[in-house]
Amino acid sequence: MNKQAIIVGAGPCGLSAAIELEKIGVSCTVIERGNIVDAIYRYPTHQTFFSSASLLEIGDIPFICKDLKPRRQDALVYYREVVTRTGLNVQSFETVESVDKENDRFVVTSRHERRGETVREADYVILATGYYGRPRLLDVPGETLPHVHHYFNEAHPYYRQHVTIIGGKNSAVDAAIELEKAGAYVTVLYRGDSYSPSVKPWVLPNFDSLVRHEKVRMEFEATIERITDDGVYYRQHGEEKHVYADHVFAMTGYQPDHHLFESAGIAIDEESGIPTYDEETFETNVEHLFIAGVVAAGNDANKIFIENGRFHGKAIADAIANRINV
C-alpha cells in the first residue's frame, strides 16, 4: 500500500522534506497558508542572503545565480523552479487548523480562504511551519493601529515621512538604513543600552555613521509604553518621552506558533519553546509526527537556517524508509 504524508509548510525545509519523501515512494501533499516560500516573499525587496546560492539548494537542483550571494527575487525564482521540476503537490492558501491521530493515521483539517474546509488522511505528518508568520508582539496599547507594521517591505512609500522603528537587531537596522536612504525621517527606539551584538558586523559601521551624523536618531534604553495616532510614548531613564511618527515599524522579532503542535499532542518545553523530538530522526513524542526546519529550535531562531534545516527532510525520509523496509 502506498504510504502518504502531509507536510505543513512550503518553505525550503518543508519542500525539501517532501522531495526526499517522494524519493522513497511516499506520496506527499504540502499545505501552505500562503504560497511557496512565503517567508522569503515577506523579506524586504532589497534583501540579500548571507549565504551563497549553493547552500540554499534543495532536491539536488542547482541554484544558478550571477552573484555570489543571491537576493530575495533570485530565491523566489529558484524555489518556484524547484516545485515546477519536481511536480510537488502544493496546496496554497490553505491554513491547517488541526492534526488529529485516529487509528494510527492522521486526520488533517485545513481551510482554504475561498473553498472552505478540507479533510485529508495520511500515514505521516511533518510540521515545517517556520516562525516568520507570527511577530513577537510588544503587548502595549496601540500596537494594532493601522500605521503600525511588523514587516518591512520597501522604503519608497515613506519618503519624507516620520518613521519610528522599535527594535535594535538586524531587521530594525536594515530597515533604518533603507528608510534613511529613501528620504524618511527615522528614529530608532531600542531597549538595549548599546548596539546589539547580533547586528551584522559589515552593516553596523554604516548604521553607526548615520547615527553619529544625526541622519538617524537612535535612542537606547527605551521602553515602549504605548503607541497612539500621534506617535510613540516611551520611558527612558525614568522619564516618559514621546516621538512623533507617521508610521511605526515594530521590528521585535518573530516566534513559532505552538498551538498546532500542542493540539496535535507534541510536548513543548516551556522555557526554550523546543518541541520534544528525536535529534536524529526529527520524530516527535507522537509516533509518525515529525518536525523540520527552524521550529526545531524553539524560541531561538538563530540556530537553524535554510542551510542546515534543508537536511532535516533527508533524516526524516531515512527514518521512514527504514520502517517501510522492515
pLDDT at 257 (0 to 100):
79
- 4-8, 77-81, 107-111, 129-133: segment of lowest average pLDDT: 129-133
Single out the residue in 232, 250, 268 at which a domain terminates: 250
Please tell me whether residues 31 and 54 are part of one structural domain.
Answer: yes
Q: What is the pLDDT of residue 126?
A: 98
184 plus 317 within the same structural domain: no
Do 13 and 125 reside in the same domain of the chain? Answer: yes
Q: Domain count of the chain?
A: 2
Q: What is the pLDDT of residues 258-273, one digit of tens each?
A: 889 999 999 999 888 8
Whether residue 162 contacts residue 42, with contact meaning beta carbons closer than 8 Å, is answered with: no
Residue 162 φ then ψ, to 5°: -85, 115
pLDDT, position 1 = 60
**What share of the chain has pLDDT > 70, as a percent?**
98
Residues 285, 223, single domain; the answer is no
Look at residue 142 and tell me if it is in a domain. no
**What is the pLDDT confidence band of residue 241, given thresholds at 50, 70 and 90?**
very high
| 239 and 259 fall within a common domain | no
State yes or no: pLDDT of 303 exceeds 90: no
Mean pLDDT, residues 115-125 taken together: 96
pLDDT greater than 60 at residue 326:
no
Decide which of 250, 281, 313 is a domain's last residue: 250
What pLDDT, on the 0 to 100 scale, is given for residue 245? 98
Average pLDDT for 101-119: 94
Average pLDDT over residues 208-216: 97
In a domain? residue 139: no
- Percent of all residues in the chain with a pLDDT value above 90, rounded to a whole number: 80
Would you say residue 154 lies in a domain?
yes
- The x, y and z cell numbers of residue 71, run together, are 537576493
Q: Give the Cα separation of 219 and 235 in Å (integer).
A: 11
Residues 222 and 300 in one domain: no
- What are the start-end ranges of the H helices in 28-71? 38-41
Q: Which residue has the higher pLDDT, 10 or 323?
A: 10
Whether the per-residue pLDDT at 286 is higher than 60: the answer is yes
Q: Residues 79, 175: one domain?
A: no
Q: Is residue 140 part of a domain?
A: no
pLDDT at residue 298 in the model:
83
- The yes-or-no verdict on residue 93 having pLDDT over 90 is yes
Q: 62 and 153: one domain?
A: no
What is the per-residue pLDDT for 272? Answer: 87
- For residue 216, the model assigns a pLDDT of 98
Q: What is each CA distance from 33 to 10, 166, 182, 223, 321, in whole angstroms?
A: 9, 28, 32, 34, 28
The predicted pLDDT at position 270 comes to 86
Residues 124 and 91 in one domain: yes
Residue for cell digits 512565503? 38
Task: Answer for the pair 51, 67: CB distance below 8 angstroms, yes or no.
Answer: no
Q: Which of 218, 250, 282 is the last residue of a domain?
A: 250
The overall average pLDDT reported for the chain is 94
**For range 57-84, the mean pLDDT:** 95
The pLDDT assigned to 206 comes to 96
Tell me whether residue 143 is in a domain: no
Domain co-membership, 258 together with 238? no
141 within domain boundaries: no
Cβ neighbors of 233 (< 8 A, separation 6 or more) are: 224, 225, 226, 227, 240, 241, 242
Q: Is the pLDDT of residue 311 over 90?
A: yes
* DSSP line for 227-238: EETTEEEEEETT
Q: Are residues 40 and 186 in the same domain?
A: no
14/117 same-domain check: yes
Task: Look at residue 182 in the predicted model and tell me its pLDDT.
Answer: 97
- Domain range spanning residue 104? 4-134+254-324
